[in-house]
Homo-oligomer: A and B are copies of this chain.
Amino acid sequence: MLTALRANIIAAPALGKLEITEYGYLVLQDGVTLGVFPTLPEIYKTAQIEDFGDALLLQSFADMHLHAPQFPMVGMGMDIPLLDWLNTYTFPLEAAFKDIEYARAVYTQLAATLINNGTTRVCMYGTIHTDATLLLMRILDDAGITGYVGKVNMDRNAPDYLCESTGESLRETLRWLGECERFRNIRPMLTPRFVPSCTGELMGGIGRLAAARGLYIQSHLSENRSEMAWVKELHPDCGQYWETYEKYGLWKDHTIMAHCVHSDARERAAMREHGVYMCHCADSNINLASGIAPVRAMLDEGLRVVLGSDIAGGSQLPMLSVCAQSIRASKMRRILTGWTEEILTPAEVYYLATSAGAQYFGGGTGFPVGEPLHALVLDDKGFSKTVRTGANPPTLAQRLERAMYLADSRHIAAVFSAGRRVK
């Protein structure tokens, strides 16, 4: 079926670049993009047009690091640093996901909230619980979310109620992988929680599994100074945090490392050389007072940077808010570095929150021809109408910027994921 969406179309073809088509057409064949056009080409004259008027048609978002079970504790208890926060709040909550009905209630609400806010791609952590993680994948898939989900592995330095034995962790991972074929757009990725939670034996087992089955890996890196010191104690043979992952075959192409707040030039070079993605979680890093990652340096050095909400260290699930918070964090770094470091621009964070994530999944940037559509329609008239009657009518780029600061799910009028309308 030939259709066309009409609106002000804003694509992010490259870092810092916006491709703006004022009141143009995005033409689709069965949900697959045929192109973006300022006027409807003659050959598509028969397309059924959905006209969104003066609204913005944006790429939908990729949230590349978040903990599904922490959704109920968003905005709570962020008065203590990472390691205390995990023990006090996070671990007791994650243990509750042994109860599949509790998992169903939380994950259903999470999936709906993601879609409502225009997030259609994720790399997400579940818990250690295989069945709850499979349920999470089912719920996401049914809601129209795409991407990767991981059953968490942790076999040390966790409370008894949330700790697997090494053998159990590996066996359950195999059982889980065996059940993952059934989903349309959700795939598994291996998820050793972080170095302190995983023995070398477990990390080695996961590394071999990743190699044997061509699976991707997600974990955490250099988030907090105390965490880093602990990793150094646990692996005195490793010069830097990242080397502990490398030792066990986890440091490789498409591995996603969240945070990297304190990654120095050497660690960053290792990321670039191995095709490791850095997931920037600005709000989480602020909330837990971890610090601010050197994102500008990473971008200048050619690292692959993506963005994550990191709920519940982060307290904002909507990626538009994550965009604004990433800009604010870059201003913090500007302050921290005596105004020597350039801030992130709205165009840059829009790219990082959309195209950069899409590329992780093998997609192109912008609205790539031949790919199923990932998009959202943003109706900003509620907060931009007064501007129009006075001085300084906002440009489309400024309306995108304002949306990052002012829009919420009320303003997201439609969402398309993998070629299908899901809101």
Contacts and interface: CB of A to CB of B under 8 A. Distances in A.
B289 A335 contact: yes
A410 B316 CA distance: 16
A180 to B, nearest CB: 25
A410 B410 CA distance: 10
Interface in A363-377: none
Contact of A345 (B79, B331, B402): B79
A117 to B, nearest CB: 12
Contacts of A99: 390
A144 to B, nearest CB: 21
A331 B345 CA distance: 23
A391 B75 contact: no
A1 interface: no
Interface string A44-58: 000000000000000
A405 interface: yes
A334 B289 contact: yes
Given A73-B392, A386-B109, A390-B93, A336 B339 contact: no
A401 B315 CA distance: 11
B390 A96 contact: yes
Contact of A387 (B73, B288, B328, B334): B73
Contacts of A416: none
Interface in A334-387: 334-336, 339, 343, 345, 383, 385-387
B331 A75 contact: no
Contacts of A77: 398, 401
B106 A386 contact: yes
Nearest to A402: B75
A29 B181 CA distance: 66
A386 B72 contact: yes
Interface in A169-186: none
Nearest to A312: B405
A287 interface: yes
A76 B401 contact: yes
A332 interface: yes
B343 A405 contact: no
A105 interface: yes
A245 interface: no
In this complex, the member of A105, A289, A391 whose beta carbon has the largest number of chain B beta carbons within 10 angstroms is A391
A106 B291 CA distance: 38
A95 interface: yes
B286 A404 contact: no
A76 B398 contact: yes
B286 A76 contact: no
A394 interface: yes
A390 B96 CA distance: 6
Nearest to A107: B386
22 contacts: A71-B386, A72-B387, A72-B392, A73-B392, A75-B401, A75-B403, A75-B405, A76-B398, A79-B345, A92-B391, A93-B390, A105-B389, A105-B390, A286-B332, A287-B328, A287-B331, A289-B335, A292-B335, A315-B405, A315-B406, A316-B405, A335-B336
Given A75-B324, A109-B385, 8 more contacts: A75-B402, A75-B403, A75-B404, A77-B398, A93-B391, A289-B334, A289-B335, A315-B324
